[in-house]
Amino acid sequence: MNDKELLEKAVLFGKSAMHWRQLFIGLLPEVNRRKLYEKKNCSSIFEFAFKFGGLSEEQVRRALNLDKKFEELPSLHAALVTGEVSINKLLRIAAIATPENEEKLVNAARILSNRAIETFVRDEKQNGSDKPEIEAKSVHVHLNDEVKLRLAELQEKGININEIILAALNKRELEIAEEKAMPVGPASSRAVPVKTERLMEKEYGTKCSISTCFKPSEVIHHTQTFALSHKHDPNYLAPLCREHHEIAHAINLKVREKRFQR
């Protein structure tokens, strides 16, 4: 067996082990209710789970707690007992689960990675909050010494530096709008042109374009599917972090599925 074959087999067996582990965890609440562990000479569900599944007491408690929490949430309960969704994902969405959103949460958990689920749950919490999206707070702007000195000199002369700054900001926004208004022809490649990347950075900086996210952007997302438009239109582009990019594609997939079902 060469290195490639060994690695492929190790990955395959590892994924299979994770799958069967999820199925085993899903059975534990019912095994506990029926006290079937006693038929295997185990004093508790914890001993049974460790003996036959190698699970810690904490892992078992999590499964039992989720089983209880999802009593009135049939879709999430089914995802637990069938092993369709990992317990780690279910733990992340349990805090915001309600009868109204459980289908949405299950669908997200089926598609998204653990890291993307964390971001998805955080977004859902913020969307459901009564607090305004952007709260008034102290703004800390870091200016270099030269800028501070020049602004101070203007202010000492009685010049309104706020008007100067606002004029500069308005000019920047106008320049961006003018660049985005330029006609865009069909693209020869899926790669976003460097010029367009620079425009995105000029508009959004280096952070994810989701207003409540402060992670670095890692990919430019086409909000207008590139396979259909064949264009890199900056009006339909958004720099996103890895997690929000995954969420965006999951949403697009669901939209396309609904369209095909009509």
What does DSSP assign to residue 207?
Answer: B
Does residue 136 have a pLDDT over 60? no
Identify any residues that bridge with 207 across adjacent strands, giving them in sequence order.
216
Identify any residues that bridge with 57 across adjacent strands, giving them in sequence order.
none
Q: Name residues whose C-beta falls within 8 Å of residue 175's C-beta, 6 or more positions apart in sequence.
A: none
In angstroms, how far is CA 162 from the centroid of its own chain?
38
- Residue 24's Cβ-count burial label (10 Å; 0-12, 13-18, 19+) is middle
Among 237, 212, 213, 234, CA closest to 223: 237
Q: pTM for this one?
A: 0.69
- Taking residues 120-148, report their average pLDDT: 74
Q: What is the pLDDT of residues 185-218, one digit of tens each?
A: 999 888 999 999 999 999 999 999 998 888 999 9
Q: What is the pLDDT of residues 40-70, one digit of tens each?
A: 999 999 999 999 999 999 999 999 999 999 9
What tokens appear for 102 in the block?
Answer: 């459980």
The ranges assigned to domains in the chain are 13-127, 152-183, 191-262
More confident residue, 115 or 126: 115
**Would you say 204 and 217 are in contact if contact means Cβ atoms under 8 Å apart?**
yes
> How far, in Å, CA of 257 to CA of 262, rounded?
9
Does residue 255 have a pLDDT over 50? no
Half-sphere exposure of 225 (CA within 13 A, CB side): 9
Q: Across 24-153, where does the E strand assignment appear?
A: none
What does DSSP assign to residue 216?
Answer: B
CA distance between the termini of the chain = 50
Q: What is the pLDDT of residues 152-185, one digit of tens each?
A: 999 999 999 999 999 999 999 999 999 988 898 9
Res 188: pLDDT: 87
